[in-house]
Amino acid sequence: MAGPLAGYRVIDVTQMLSGPMATMILGDQGADVIKVEPPKTGDLTRAFSSSGIPPTFLMINRNKRSVAINLKEPQGVELLKQMVADADVFVQNFRPGTVERMGIGDDDLRRVNPNLIYVSISGFGESGPYVKKRVYDPVIQALSGLTDVQRDQETGRPHMMRLVIPDKVTSLTAAQAITAALLARERTGKGQHVRLAMLDAVVSFVWPEGMAAQTIVRDDRREAGESEKRRDLLFETTDGFITTGAMSNKEWEGLVRALKQPQWLEDPRFQTPAGRMKNAGVRLELMAEVLKTRSSAEWLARLDAEQVPCAPALRRDEVMHNEQVIANELIVESEHPHVGRMRMPRPPARFEETPAELRLPAPALGEHTQAVLKEFGVSAEQLAELQAADII
């Protein structure tokens, strides 16, 4: 058996990031993901690079086949329905109301496949005051509290996290939900509609520790706490940056030995985990003063020897060369027919019996139109007609 989802077929009309990355995970695990794209432009993100296929597109559309169908024409919609009739999952991330206008809403598709799992990914949900607003990553970051979490501690200015966290958290959440709906269907025989709003996925993600001050109602007027104001756990060395820290007494003692500052063990402020937490500001400044006197390699060797948590702050181009990343065989190289040699992480979860793997490179627009439609019973004659009519 290939991946755990081998044998399931997913019809995916999503574009951009959150939808495609969700179906990438399903494809990684063996599902047959058919990416349906508009014939002229394809997925909008194909055009995000002036110098060829964008790297992001290449990663999040791996393990998929591409079929170009014009869904603005009734014949295109009929073709889609023919495919959905023989599929397990349909995923869309159009703005609310669009699929109904296109004739590919839940009712329309359930008529051809009563047990379909119909998945709708939206920015804000399917009703409410923001339902017509356009959604981009910064909008969800600003609304979900992410930019407040990253607020500058001196000036109070909010800051973006410079990674598209909202889209990608939504992808992970959606992939799990789709898998759960497939599992429920194995037992009940029934499909269903699964709806997911980015806003909801991201607030749920921020909440556990990010909204700790908002969780217990009677604590509402509690101060945000001093931990908000202290520096982070990155320290400059003579040749770079490292992170280190100590939670338990044992780790603290190890850190003191590694930094050769035995007087800290006598310091009444640092005797207990609670004391070290309370005096984190001064403690971290003292550590920073010491750590900036030697090289990263020297400190990391000493800290490792004392079993204190530590790591270099790697630049992105260093990550793939890190010894543990290499030991994990995490980054795999593959050949893409158009861009050549590329590297990506393998699927992170390792299934002993049903391995997930890279099977297919990201497809060219419409690369599999003919092959896939033949599988769904479209004849050579029909294919020629559809092509002549600019439907495919």
CB half-sphere exposure, 286, CA atoms < 13 A:
18
Q: Which of 137, 117, 103 is nearest to 12 (CA)?
A: 117
Q: Binding to a copy of itself by residue 109, rule CB under 8 A?
A: no
**With respect to a copy of itself, which residue has the nearer C-beta, 103 or 355?**
355
CA–CA separation, 289 and 89 (whole Å): 57
Q: Which of residues 129-168 bind a copy of itself (CB under 8 A)?
A: 129-130, 132-136, 138-150, 157-165, 168
Q: Does 102 bind a copy of itself (CB under 8 A)?
A: no
From 81, 85, 110, 245, residue interacting with a copy of itself (rule: CB under 8 A): 245
Q: Is residue 297 a contact point for a copy of itself (CB under 8 A)? A: no
Q: Do 38 and 68 meet the contact criterion of CB atoms below 8 Å apart?
A: yes
Task: Establish if 266 lies at the interface with a copy of itself (CB under 8 A).
Answer: no
CA 231 to chain centre: 27
Q: Which of 101, 154, 217, 266 binds a copy of itself (CB under 8 A)?
A: 217
Task: Tell me: does residue 56 bind a copy of itself (CB under 8 A).
Answer: yes
Of residues 77 and 201, the one with the C-beta less far from a copy of itself = 201
Q: Beta-carbon neighbour count of residue 130 at 10 Å?
A: 16
Among the listed residues 236, 285, 289, 390, the single contact to a copy of itself using CB under 8 A: 236
181 counts as binding a copy of itself under rule CB under 8 A: yes
Min dist. Cβ of residue 371 to a copy of itself (A): 26
Contacts to a copy of itself from residues 308-367, by CB under 8 A: 308-317, 319-320, 322-328, 330-331, 333, 339-345, 347-354
Count of Cβ atoms closer than 10 Å to residue 214 Cβ: 12
Q: Is 40 in the site for a copy of itself (CB under 8 A)?
A: no
Closest distance to a copy of itself from the beta carbon of 41 (Å) = 13
Q: Which residues contact 203 (CB under 8 A, 6 or more apart)?
A: 144, 145
Contacts of 266 (CB under 8 A, 6+ apart): none
Our finding on whether 251 is near a copy of itself (CB under 8 A) is: yes
- Which amino acid, 321? H
Cβ pair 183, 191 in contact under 8 A? no
> Considering beta carbons, is residue 103 or 309 the nearer one to a copy of itself?
309
For residue 367, the minimal CB distance to a copy of itself (Å) is: 19
DSSP state letters, 30-51: T-EEEEEE-TTT-SGGGGS-TT
124 binds a copy of itself (CB under 8 A): yes
- Closest distance of CB 161 from a copy of itself, Å: 5
Identify whether the C-beta of residue 312 lies closer than 8 Å to the C-beta of residue 296. yes
Length of the chain: 392
What would the two tokens of residue 192 be? 């269903």
Candidate segments 73-81, 95-103, 204-212, 257-265, binder of a copy of itself by CB under 8 A: 204-212
